[in-house]
Amino acid sequence: GAGVSQSPSNKVTEKGKDVELRCDPISGHTALYWYRQSLGQGLEFLIYFQGNSAPDKSGLPSDRFSAERTGGSVSTLTIQRTQQEDSAVYLCASSLVSGDNQPQHFGDGTRLSIL
Partner 1 sequence: AQSVSQHNHHVILSEAASLELGCNYSYGGTVNLFWYVQYPGQHLQLLLKYFSGDPLVKGIKGFEAEFIKSKFSFNLRKPSVQWSDTAEYFCAVGLGGYQKVTFGTGTKLQVIP
Q: Which residues bind partner 1 (CB under 8 A)?
A: 31, 33, 35, 41-43, 45, 48, 50, 53, 56, 58, 91, 93, 97-104, 106-109
Cα distance between residue 91 and residue 63, in whole Å: 19
Please say which residue, 56 or 80, places its beta carbon nearer to partner 1. Answer: 56
- Would strands 105-106 and 5-7 be described as parallel, antiparallel, or unpaired? unpaired
User: Least distance (Å) from partner 1 to the CB of residue 20?
Assistant: 21
Amino acid at 41: Q
Please say which residue, 34 or 82, places its beta carbon nearer to partner 1. Answer: 34
User: Least distance (Å) from partner 1 to the CB of residue 16?
Assistant: 30
Sheet holding 19-24, edge to edge: 5-7, 19-24, 75-79, 65-69
Please say which residue, 20 or 56, places its beta carbon nearer to partner 1. Answer: 56
Cα distance between residue 43 and residue 112, in whole Å: 15
User: Least distance (Å) from partner 1 to the CB of residue 17?
Assistant: 27
